[in-house]
Amino acid sequence: MPTTPATATHSSSNGSAEAIMLELVDESGTTIGTAEKLAAHQAPGRLHRAFSVFLFDEQGRLLLQRRALGKYHSPGVWSNTCCGHPYPGEAPFAAAARRTYEELGISPSLMAAAGTVRYNHPDPASGLVEQEFNHLYVGLAQDTPAPDPEEVGETVFVTAAELAERHAAGPFSAWFMTVLDAARPAIRELTGPSAGW
């Protein structure tokens, strides 16, 4: 995966863990500073930049991931294809492509911006809060996922009807329906009316 100035800044050559920093933003999405990742998610949460990716196969099925059990935030729940945070100074589109490859081992095809959504979702299980200005992307997954087990416990492609059944059975991430609903116009444009999204 190629490095950019933002990703090179956040790579550690000696294997030591360094603090992951997020971009803090105002209500219009303008960068106003940075904060350490965990601190930004502690109640009441600080508004920060994020992204969510929705990838579909050629049959119009959505690629879901179940978050790995070892994740500190929302472990073991189902969510959209990929979500995360750009590094400070990293373009959201570049961050979305980078994390999709890092988590799932695939590079999206035809990935396109699908708008933004702002939300505030507490996670009762962890006590953390998602205060996010989220950049949405939709695209095609033409390769077989090869998930990183540290990030992803399981993946599945689902139709709109299958998703409704799975969502009713749970558990899903607190933000999932918010980002899905915000991305629906772009999803319908990508998958066509017959897919049912």
The dihedral built from the CA positions of residue 31, 34, 37 and 40, taken in this order, carries a sign that is: negative
Reply yes or no on whether 162 is catalytic. no
Annotated catalytic, 83?
yes
* Cα separation values, 191 from 53, 59, 160, Å: 15, 8, 11
Catalytic, out of 83, 90, 103, 130: 83
Question: Which residue out of 23, 90, 103, 132 is catalytically annotated?
Answer: 132
- Write out the H or E segment, with its range, that includes residue 102: helix 92-104
* 10 touches 18 (CB < 8 A): yes
User: Which has the closest alpha carbon to 41: 67, 74, 17?
Assistant: 74
SS3 content of the chain, % helix, strand, coil (to 5): 25, 35, 40
Kindly state the tokens that stand for 167.
Answer: 């969502």
| Helix, strand or coil, per DSSP, at residue 16 | coil
The residues annotated with a catalytic role in the active site are 83, 132
